[in-house]
A and B are shown apart, each in its own frame.
Chain A
Amino acid sequence: MEALFNLVPLVVFLPVLGLLINMLFGGRMSEKAIGTVASAASGLTFVVSVLLGVALWAGHGHAEVVPFAEWIKIGTLDIPWNFRVDTLSVTMMLVVSVVGTLIHIYAIGYMHEDVRFKKDEKRFQRFFVFMNLFIAMMMILVSGDSYLMLFVGWEGVGLCSFLLIGFWYDMDTLGRPSWANSNAAKKAFIVNRIGDFGFLLAGLTMFWWFGSVQFGEVFNKTPFIPESIILAITLFMLIGVAGKSSQIPLYVWLPDAMAGPTPVSALIHAATMVTAGVYLIARSWPLYSAVPNAQFIVALVGAVTALFAATIAVGQYDIKKVLAYSTISQLGFMVAAVGMGAFVAGMFHLVTHAFFKALLFLSAGSVILGLERGHHHLAHHGPDSGQHEEVFDPGDMRNMGGLRKRMPVTFWLYMIGTLALAGIFPFAGFWSKDEILLEAARNYTVVYVLLVIAAFFTAFYMGRQIWMVFFGRSRHAAAEHAEESPKIITVPLMVLAGLSVLGGVLNLPGVHTLTHWLEHTIALAAEHGAEVGGFLALSWGGLNPVVALVSTLLALGAIYLSWLLYGRKPLEAGQKDPLKKILGPIFTGMENKWFVDEGYRAAFVDRYADLGRFLAEVVDGRFWHDFVHDKLIAGTYNWLSKIALDRYADQKGIDAFFNGLGELIKRISASLRRLQNGFVRSYALAVLFGVIAILGYLLLK
């Protein structure tokens, strides 16, 4: 069993192998073959992960570090590339590989159509190369034994995110030639880099105080390090978390990231990469546990993000945008959880969220494809309607409606996902979200309140989405002709739906499989089962009926409310959102994401560009280059030479030169000019001047 641990490098190298095969030979392979290779690479990774899990299970969760290679070694700095196999990392590996594999399979079908709609079939190959690369990077992230290896993966997934958001880099989401997608990709990368900057600072501080960035050594030394340093490190890390897990104030890239193909949104921007921040905090639990102040800040950031993003989600029309803000919101839940020290709850939600959010996204993708097909159909068969000629946005919920009948499978899958997300018993989301709310209720009331409101909004916007997409009448011809997706798309969805339904089993109250599993890594995990006073005393094995009831009721209430607004009287084509009438400007704010992007643009982005231009044109160009160099240095050269020349002879030059310098100087120069114009007598005079100067000096000295 021990020998199985040595398989761990395969989690990285299998996807790498897959991407190499696809990159080098993909050009001559069929789409099916490419997809199969990529999926197989991912699937084998899953198998390896399972084997690792089995090995851990057999070894009673005893963590293992598998040395792999030396990387950077200078003086006291020694950063090897070691793999860490413990319950936490294997959990992540399993999540990544299982969701990843399913999405790979799904993508074979999805991308087959997508590349045809976008008219660039060659990119199919590229997609799977990038996807495998992503799996590899994500695996590096979760399997590394040091903060630096984690950082390598951290940046690597950022790169993949960039590549995949910008997958259709030469167009916008509607396929028109545009900078939009590439802008989104760039934005994602840069914002992530801001986070990375924080991570980097954390790493630097850590090295000089802990003398290492290996997890084991860092955690062992934690008790001996001043609290202020740990606070600094944890807060720097929080910047990184905010970037990667899309928390306030760095969440702005994630909605834009929806520019990527839907499988990408599902895999990277919902299920896996964005949860890396949660993983980081969970991984760093000894550090965070040592500084309660940092914990509170983290929890607060998470909670505020959860609510803030949820409000925005309410005002979105794009099916994926709603899910994107929902993701931000759910990440807020997770971050709040790990911030509070409820590491297991956070991880639990991470896992369930991966299932149901992937499900939602992929279903949304299916919906979009359905509409595309419908639109495509119109273009070829519908001579009656001119509608298809205008720009058609297959992701806009205002173009949908009544899809329940056209796409029944997708509808049911979507429903499962929605219920899981809304936290309805007994779907997976219920269990995990409830655990978080319970922890919040125990620790910070303010966090609890924020999260509960967020949960209410969550149910509401999901309800709104269901009514708008699947119920009522079609608001667009394309929706009328929408077609159900093929098996290759729906089968993985069914698997995910199954997981979304049953995910709660992982950590049922009283059983706490996940808690015990993670306990081997996160020693504090069990402590959070402790009892506290008040109504919370009713808790039974991690379930508090009051908390559960409150959240369930709120969720149901929200869904009912959404039915009132959207389901009872379905939206008509061109009709304004009913909330707009009720909420007025508040809804405008929600619609426009509270103008955060605009604010950032005005406050930072444009200023950065302005300052850059200023530095380049004024400081570097006009000052350093033109003034200091050309004027001061070169100009003095020329000036000196001109003066020297003019003094002796060049009468035209001197005029030209002195024209700008005013009458006085001009007159003086004119007299000087007449005096010293290079005649032999003037030369002699110069000699004499030299003589009297020397004599004068020698005599008077």
Chain B
Amino acid sequence: MDFTLILFYVVAGVAAATAVGLLFSRNAVYAALFLVLNFACVAVFYLLLGAPFIAMAQITVYAGAIMVLFLFVIMLLGAEKLPRGGILPWQRPLAIGAAAILLAEAGYLLVQRVQSAAVLPDPGSFENSVSSLQQMAYLLFTDYLLPFEVTSILLLVAMVGAIVLTRQAKGAQR
């Protein structure tokens, strides 16, 4: 058994477990932490897939920035826990059933219909961190200039939007 394969299975297991944890943790803080772990696992996958740049971005932006923001809000609102018992008792079983079907469909698609024999190469191949990073940056400003600029606008809009929304709420309290 190859080391990477073992690593993959372990990480995959952790990723699935943390996802389940996210689903069922009573406390929002725990949920957030599960998600952080999950993101970390995905970051490991990225590394395994020879994408170190994105792995780093995953850790810093997602796990670092975004999840901290989440936690911050949880704390700010003091909304870690919600009372038990929903108004929608049938929602959960139906949702789980639907999810199971979705998963089954995905499995069927991947296993039965796609039947890809492709085996991905080791992380090491094609990898040259420095030049790859350079190349990517180059691409961002040439081929992907438009998406890049749009993303920047997007972030600006989000920022303005967030300000508008929260400032308004403050105004209301006054």
Contacts and interface: CB of A to CB of B under 8 A. Distances in A.
Contact of A692 (B87, B105, B113): B105
Given A674-B88, A677-B88, A685 B95 contact: yes
Contact of B108 (A674, A689, A699): A699
Nearest to A675: B90
B90 A688 contact: no
Interface string B84-122: 000111110011001101100100110001000000000
Interface string A663-690: 0000000010011010101100100110
Nearest to B101: A692
9 contacts: A671-B90, A675-B90, A675-B94, A681-B91, A688-B98, A688-B102, A691-B102, A692-B98, A692-B102
B21 to A, nearest CB: 20
Contacts of B101: 692, 696
Interface in B107-152: 108-109, 113
Contacts of B90: 671, 674-675
Nearest to B89: A674
A685 B88 CA distance: 12
B105 A685 contact: no
A674 B85 CA distance: 13
Given A692-B101, A696-B101, A699-B113, A682 B108 contact: no
A682 B91 contact: yes
B68 to A, nearest CB: 26
A679 B88 contact: yes
Contacts of B99: 688
B98 A677 contact: no
A346 to B, nearest CB: 93
A29 B94 CA distance: 96
Listed from nearest, the 6 A-B pairs whose CB atoms lie closest are A675-B90, A695-B105, A692-B101, A688-B98, A692-B102, A674-B90
Contacts of B113: 699
Interface string A49-87: 000000000000000000000000000000000000000
Contacts of A692: 98, 101-102, 105
Contacts of B105: 692, 695-696, 699
Contact of B109 (A671, A679, A699): A699
Which secondary structure dominates chain B's binding surface? helix
Contacts of A696: 101, 105
B102 A675 contact: no
Contacts of A671: 90
A161 to B, nearest CB: 79
A689 B108 CA distance: 17
Given A682-B88, A696-B105, A699-B105, 15 more contacts: A674-B88, A674-B90, A675-B94, A677-B87, A679-B91, A681-B91, A681-B95, A685-B91, A685-B95, A688-B95, A688-B98, A689-B98, A692-B105, A699-B108, A699-B109
Contacts of A677: 87-88
A685 to B, nearest CB: 6
A223 B2 CA distance: 115
Contacts of A674: 87-90
Contacts of A682: 88, 91
A463 to B, nearest CB: 100
A695 B105 CA distance: 7
B109 to A, nearest CB: 6
Contacts of B88: 674-675, 677, 679, 681-682
A679 B87 contact: yes
B69 to A, nearest CB: 22
Nearest to B98: A688
Contacts of A675: 88, 90-91, 94
A176 B109 CA distance: 96
A674 B102 CA distance: 23
A684 to B, nearest CB: 9
A692 B108 CA distance: 12
Contacts of B89: 674
Nearest to A679: B88
A321 B90 CA distance: 87
